Structures are given as C-alpha cells and as structure tokens.
Amino acid sequence: MATQERQIPERLMADSSLPSAEPARAGFYWATLEDGTEVIAEYRAIASRKNEKAWFRYESADPTVDKVPRALDVVVTAYRKASREAVDEALRRELTVSEQCDAAYAQWRDSCRNWDGYRQVELPERRRLKVGEKVKVGSLSDCVVVAVYEDGQAVAVQSTLVRSETSVRKVDVWHWTQVERLEPPRPSSFSSPRIRHALSFSPADVDSVLSRVVKWN
C-alpha cells in the first residue's frame, strides 16, 4: 500500500480549541466528521512528525487505482470500532473492465455444463462479434461487447444493472448463440420475419439442444 501523505492543514494543528477525537490506539475506525457523516478512516502516526498522530482517509481519483492515505482536512468529533469487512470494503479498488472480463470468463467456464456441446456449434462469420459492438442479450439493458474468448465462441458483454435508484455496469460472459447484434445485417431477399422468428432461440433452448448433442455423442 502506498504511503503518500497530505500535510495536515495549519488551522487544525494550530487551534487547540477545535474538538478532536483521539483513540488510545492507532487503527481503522468509523470516524464521525463535523457535518455528522461517518467514514472509514485510519488514526496513525504522521511520517514527518515523530510521536504525533492524525486521521487519514484512503482515496483515489480513479476507482480502479489503489487508494492512498490522505490526511483529513476536517475535524473528527467521534469514532467507533470498524469491522474487518467494513475496512476491506473501504480500501478495495474497483476492477478494471479487463479484470472484470477475465473474472467473468473464468466463472463462466467453471459453471458451463455444455461446453463440449457449445464447441460443436460452428460459429458463422456473419455472427462473429467484435469489441465495441452493441448487442442484445435477453432483457439486459445497454449491452456492448467488451471482450471475446475462444476464437469468438465466448463473448463478454457489459450491461447496466439497475438497483433501487442507482445503476452499475456489470460484465457477464455468454456463448455466441445467446448474443445478438442490436442492428443485425440486412436480411437477404429469401428471408422473412416468420423464418427469422423460427430460427431465434432463448438461452434455455440452446442449453437444452446442446445437452442432447452431448448425450447423443
């Protein structure tokens, strides 16, 4: 963990009348700030001042970069013990999109029951997807391809997940048969809406068919 520190503001070091909560032991706590909000902060020694301690909060301008300690520029009025889980969550950085893709792919391969069947389904060039393409996967929202694996057989798709009043972007991996281009190529003169509908399958349909292929072989 990096140890870059920001200097303690002079107003906090010079004015001894300001309220200051000081734990007997260094460590991580839930710290109550002047405005009443609580944050995970560390009470620790100041590298440049021997035998002096101050409150530090771990921050990063980029959520995917490791957080570094920065001295709080507001007074801590109270503190209470923080659990290991709360501290780990406060210090954890977000995964990059590339890391999310690799993690999702590893999870998908571990849980994929029909991989042998999937590999027997030839991937047509017209269905080969590229990074950056907008696609449709079931009822997921705002889907875009962010990575491809196994020569296009597996596709990592980033979509929007809505939770209460917030939304987050998540990455899942799918077999190419479960991913459709949002704007498919123009159909030939021999195709019709009825035929295209008959040739469309849900993920459950694909799994069922592939299970039978593996069983027969």
Tens-digit pLDDT string for the chain (217 aa):
444 444 444 433 333 334 568 999 999 999 999 999 999 999 998 877 777 899 999 999 998 999 999 999 899 999 999 999 999 999 999 999 999 999 999 999 888 777 777 777 889 999 999 999 999 999 899 999 999 999 999 999 999 988 777 788 899 999 999 999 987 556 665 555 555 555 555 666 666 666 665 555 5
- The Cα–Cα gap between 187 and 190 comes to 8
104 closest CA partner among 175, 172, 177? 172
* Residue-wise burial string across 154-171, b where 16 or more C-beta atoms lie within 10 A, e elsewhere: bbbbbbeeeeeeeeeeeb
CB 173 within 8 A of CB 149: yes
What's residue 210's pLDDT? 61
What's residue 2's pLDDT? 44
Fold of 97-114+122-181: SH3 type barrels. (2.30.30)
Q: Is 42 helix (H, G, I), strand (E, B) or coil?
A: strand
Domains of the chain by residue range: 27-91, 97-114+122-181
Classify burial at 30, counting beta carbons within 10 Å of its beta carbon; exposed 0-12, middle 13-18, buried 19 or more: middle
- The Cα–Cα gap between 24 and 129 comes to 59
118 closest CA partner among 168, 173, 169? 173
29-87 pLDDT, tens digit per residue, is 999 999 999 999 999 988 777 778 999 999 999 989 999 999 998 999 999 999 999 99
Cross-sheet strand order for the sheet of 68-71 = 68-71, 49-59, 38-46, 27-33, 76-81
What's the gap between Cα 96 and its chain centre?
Answer: 7
Q: How wide is the angle at C-alpha 63 spanned by C-alphas 162 and 157, nearest 5°?
A: 45
Q: Residue type for 122, please? A: E
- The Cα–Cα gap between 116 and 84 comes to 42
**Number of helical (H) and strand (E) elements in the chain, helices listed first:** 6, 10
Half-sphere exposure in the Cβ direction for 133 (13 Å, CA): 19
